[in-house]
Amino acid sequence: MPASTLKLKLQSDMKSSMKAGDKARLSVIRLMLAAINQIEVDERIELDDSRITAVLDRMTKQRRESIEHFSSASRDDLIAIEEYELQTIREYLPELLSQAEINTLVEQSIQASDASSIKDMGRVMGLLKPQLQGRADMKKVSQLIKSRLDTA
């Protein structure tokens, strides 16, 4: 199976960062490649672009949570580092969807799954996750679905 295009882009950008002497960017790219390689070694497979997107999406979630924690602790120095990492990782993910697009997809998924109560949330999330992976904050999407199903 050929290497994923996303992984090849990361490897190419790593080389470019080395040549340019951009240590901060190089560090973030190495973090991403290490996370990808860890899964490949553990599972003895080569990840495709969709799995790599899921890994990078998980990394963005970790950065957002860290920023929240550092904000409550007034650690502006660490917030700046996490925001830079988050921004760099986002460059390799698909473009974020607008709130209107997310609302439309949520409504379509609720209708497609015949969801009528909060008990049906798993079915709705199952339909949405492949469409939104890396393109939306799934925590916010989850809250949106809960609010829609509570009023349904």
Query: In tens digits, what is the pLDDT along the chain, a chain of 152 residues?
Result: 456 899 999 999 999 999 999 999 999 999 999 999 999 999 999 999 989 999 999 999 999 999 999 999 999 999 999 999 999 999 999 999 999 999 999 999 999 999 888 999 999 999 999 999 889 988 899 999 999 988 76
pTM value is 0.84
Contact of 87 with 103, CB cutoff 8 Å: no
Buried b (16+ CB within 10 A) or exposed e, 27-48: ebbeebbebbeeeeeeeeeebe
pLDDT the model gives residue 1: 47
Domains of the chain and CATH, by start? 5-90 (1.10.1510.10), 99-151 (1.10.10.410)
What CA–CA distance (Å, rounded) separates 44 from 35? 14
